[in-house]
Each structure stands twice: as C-alpha cells, then as structure tokens.
Structure 1
Amino acid sequence: MLFGYDTELSLAAAAALVNTAGERPDPLDDEASFRDFVTRWQWSGPVRFDAAERDGVRAIRPALRELWSGDEAEIVARVNTMLREHAALPQLVRHDEWDWHLHATPVEAPLASRWVLDAAMAMVDLVRAGELSRMRTCAADDCDNVLVDLSKNRSRRYCDAGCGNRANVAAYRARRAKR
C-alpha cells in the first residue's frame, strides 16, 4: 500500500465514476445499477438512490475527469476549487470496520459532494507525495478510460475494461503472423 486505504479507495472510486461516462447503458441511469455501483465503493452516510441523486453524481464526472489532465499547477487549482465549492470540512472519523481516516464533509452531505471531496482529498495526498504521474489514461488506442497506477513499479498501463488483455492478444497474433 502506497497511500492510506481511504486515499486509494477514493482514487479508485473517482476513476470508476469517470469511466462510467462512456459505458452503455450508463450504470447511473437506473436505481438498481446505481445502487450496485455506489455500494461497491462502500459509501458511508445516507444514500437515497433516487433520480436527483443520480443526476448529481452524473454531473460531477466531468470535473473528476479533469483531475487526470493538466500540469501540477492546473490540478492543484482544480482541487482547491473543489474543496472550496463543496465546503470541505476535514475531520477524523472511525466507522464500520474502518479505523481513523479523513472525511472532508459531514456524513449527511449529498453523495455527489462526498464523492468530489473524497477525490479532492486523495489528490492532495498525491500532490504532496509528488505522485501525480500515477494518474493515467488507458494506453489502448481505442480507449479513453482513466486509471490510477498504484503498483509499486508504476507499470500499470491499461484500465480494468479488458484493454490489457486485448492488447496482449493482438501482440501475440501479430507475432504469430510474422512466422
């Protein structure tokens, strides 16, 4: 583990949310798939799963995607804007099976605000550690998904949508064709 568990989970949740923008059908469109998606990321606090909440979460995808582009100064400006606009109020909390960790908003804040602020606080950790290069776009030519490379040797190139497997199969077939 390179960062705290909450930081890694927040970064992964932000990437997963950003990547839903290109999925068809959109997993945020209906209550059941939205419920599954949100539950997978272990959100504490109230979640309504209604259309208004789904719209709010969908609306933050473009801002989160911007965390994967730009130089350090641009990313820091975006993070600071997120912290201000969503009224960050960092506090240490302990709940469920989690030991002490940082929440940036009261538990009753809207899910979209909690998602943005968790991502912003995780980005603070990356900026302070000089690790922004871990924020990447999938290396597959036909994919624009984002990923967070948390491997020790910084070798992750592909997203979780099967792109790495497709690239490996294509390379294998190209080698076989040359024989």
Structure 2
Amino acid sequence: MQFNHDNMHGVRLAEAFVNMLGDGSWDSDVLQELLTSHMFRSPRITPEYRAELREWAVRLQSVFAAEDQEARCAAVNDLLAAGVRRVFLTTHDDMLPHLHFADASETLVERVRAVTAGGLAIFMTEAAGERLGVCAWRDCSRVFADTSRGGNRTYCSARCGNADAVRRYRGRARPS
C-alpha cells in the first residue's frame, strides 16, 4: 500500500503529541518546535494552550490504543466531532489542492485539534482502519502509524523490536 506522504502531517503530529505524553517533555519550547516542524506558522504557546493540547493528546491516544477497527473508527469520529468545524479544499504556497480542516483564523488549539483529527481520519481511510498502534515492547508505550509496505509493524522502532527479540532469545536460552 502506498501512502500519500504529503497528507501525513496530521497523523504524524497526532503521533508526536501522544508520544510526548510518555516522554515527559511537555514544555512550551518543545511544543513550539514540534508545531513549527508541522507547518504551524509562529505558534505561540500560552499556559492555557499547553494544558488544552495535553488534554487533546490524551484523547488522541485512544485512537492508537483502540482494540479493533470499530473502536478506532469510533474514537476518530469522536475527535472529528470535537475538533473539526468545517472541511474545505484549498491551494496555497504553490501546493496542489488539498484539504484543510481548520481556518487560519481559528486558535492554535482549534487548528491542532482539526489537523490531527482530520489527519487521523484520512489515514484511517487510506489504511482501511488499521495500521495505528502502540509499541509491543513491554517497556515502551510509544504509538506509531505504520506506513511500511507490509503493514505488519508491531513496534514503534527497530530499536524496540530488537530489544524485544533479545529478551525473548535470552528467555529461551536460560537453562531450566
């Protein structure tokens, strides 16, 4: 399956927000850097915005942790209802036509909610409701969006996959 990586910034932003919950790096500078890297122009992070974005990240986590396709769709629908006021097609900055889920006049938090909810919805349709998950390594709780060719990823990174393989190997190699 091929994913349109130009449409991935909403799902990647959702992934990054959820992973920030576990990383413990929830400060304004980190948030500002993250939002700037995801095409938000000059994001100003107030203490209120920081708290609201953290609450939103907790809600985003439910999509990645959902047990099955039906639960994942329901979680995305809840996010869409809470975060998207309107959807429109646009062109700007020499880009091809693409969807926007928020207007530039909306607050930073409203735009983040819309972009992440919309991005997850697009990804879900492209991935047939699958390919979102939580790392299978017991010592990791990072989430991921699987864009691999095979679509059978279970770890957030090769590092976690290797660590789990070593743990399993050592468990088998121990004498009884």
Q: TM-score range by the shorter chain?
A: 0.7 to 0.9
Q: Which residue, out of 66, 69, 74, partners 1:72? A: 69
TM-score with structure 2 length normalisation? Answer: 0.80
Structure 1 residues 147, 52: closer, same or farther in 2, change over 3 A?
same
Distance 2:163 2:48 in 1: 37
Distance 1:72 1:19, change over 3 A: same
Please tell me whether the aligned partners of residues 93 and 100 of structure 1 are also in contact (alpha carbons under 8 angstroms).
yes
Residues 116 and 70 of structure 1: is their aligned pair in 2 closer, same or farther, counting only changes over 3 Å? farther
Aligned length: 174
Aligned runs of 1:20-169 on 2, under 5 Å?
20-24=20-24, 26=25, 28-29=26-27, 31-44=28-41, 47-68=43-64, 69-96=66-93, 98-129=95-126, 131-160=128-157, 162-167=159-164
| 1:170 to partner: Cα distance | 4.9
Q: 1:91, CA displacement in angstroms?
A: 1.0
| 1:14 Cα offset (Å) | 0.5
Aligned-residue sequence identity (percent) comes to 27
Measured after TM superposition, the shift of residue 71 of structure 1 is 3.2
Q: Per the alignment, in what secondary structure is the counterpart of residue 8 of structure 2?
A: helix
Q: How big is the alpha-carbon RMSD for the aligned residues of Structure 1 and Structure 2?
A: 2.8
Distance in structure 1 (CA, Å) of the matches to 2:117 and 2:74: 11
Q: Deviation at 1:124?
A: 2.6
Tell me: CA distance 1:164–1:112, structure 2 relative to 1, closer, same or farther (3 Å): farther
User: Using a 3 Å threshold, how does the CA distance of structure 1 residues 57 and 174 change in structure 2: closer, same or farther?
Assistant: same
Tell me the amino acid that sits aligned with residue 17 of structure 1.
Answer: F
Instruction: List, as ranges, runs of 4+ consecutive aligned residues in structure 1 with deviation greater than 6 Å.
Output: 171-178
| Residue ranges of structure 2 left out of the alignment (5+ in a row) | none
Moved more, 146-155 or 118-127: 118-127
CA deviation vs aligned residue, 1:74-132 (integer Å, no higher than 9, x gap): 33333333223234211112233533211111112222322222232233334434522
Once the two structures are superposed, residues 45-73 of structure 1 have per-residue CA deviations (whole angstroms, 9 ceiling, x without a partner) of x6222222222211101110111214333
